[in-house]
Amino acid sequence: MGAVAARKDSENPEDPQGSKDSKDSKEPKQDRSRATRRRLLEAAVACLAEHGWAGSTVAVVAERAGVSRGAAQHHFPTREDLFTAAVEYVAEERSTALRALAPAGPTRRREVVEAVVALYTGPLFRAALHLWVAAADEEQLRPRVTELEARVGREAHRMTVELLGADESVPGVRETVQGLLDMARGLGLATLLTDDTQRRNRVVAQWARILDTVLG
């Protein structure tokens, strides 16, 4: 009986070496689990950006990440879990990059505008757009994506205000900051079809001048 119990302990997928493992021996396993999760999230975003919702199955993502489908489903039981977590993960990565910028003075406002535009013109935005389209038809996915995008939008607005040192109690400032974010989203849509770099650079420069005028 004791031998059977010991064997079952050793077969526990959460503790493959038995319950007598030390804390040190468990830490590498935890590190591997985190690394696997990160690979799956990155692969999911890349697949969604390249193939859209229809072409991005759990099996496709698992293959791209170099893990088994079972391992993928261990971390993310459903397809919806995987892709909403993936877009949220990269959104947080972009938010971290924005937070790393120092508050802007007048000479650095263009840099802030460029960083905000980059938030909406990279792989994250392309992946998020595919997720929005899917959510329009998938009842199970829609509330999760709606909540995620609202949270990302609020965080982007808050960080932009902070980076610009903007005082939203001044009439017109809040609308100007929101206009910047809406403009960046529009540039992201234009980038989906063509290389819009030259026009985008001119628009970014103009928005930096608008901010100088409005913020002083």
Amino acid of residue 8: K
Is 60 exceeded by the pLDDT of residue 1? no
The C-alpha atoms of residue 39 and residue 160 are separated, in whole angstroms, by 29
Is 90 exceeded by the pLDDT of residue 168? yes
Tokens of 9: 């302990």
Question: Which pLDDT score is estimated for 149?
Answer: 82
Structure-model confidence comparison of residues 198 and 106, the more confident one: 198
Structure-model confidence comparison of residues 78 and 135, the more confident one: 78
The C-alpha atoms of residue 2 and residue 211 are separated, in whole angstroms, by 73
**Model pLDDT for residues 119-166, shown as the tens digit of each residue:** 888 777 887 888 888 888 888 788 888 888 888 888 889 989 988 989
**Model pLDDT for residues 25-58, shown as the tens digit of each residue:** 455 778 888 899 999 999 998 888 888 888 889 9
The C-alpha atoms of residue 51 and residue 200 are separated, in whole angstroms, by 25
Question: Which pLDDT score is estimated for 169?
Answer: 94
Question: Which pLDDT score is estimated for 105?
Answer: 67
Amino acid of residue 37: R
Tokens of 148: 């995620």
Question: Which pLDDT score is estimated for 11?
Answer: 36
At 91, is the pLDDT very low, low, confident or very high (cuts 50, 70, 90)?
confident
Question: Which pLDDT score is estimated for 123?
Answer: 77
- Cα of 177 vs its chain's centroid, Å: 21
**Model pLDDT for residues 10-29, shown as the tens digit of each residue:** 333 333 334 344 444 455 77
Contacts of residues 93-96 at CB distance under 8 Å and 24 or more positions apart, as own/partner, are 93/124, 94/118, 94/119, 94/122, 94/124, 95/152, 95/155, 95/156, 95/159
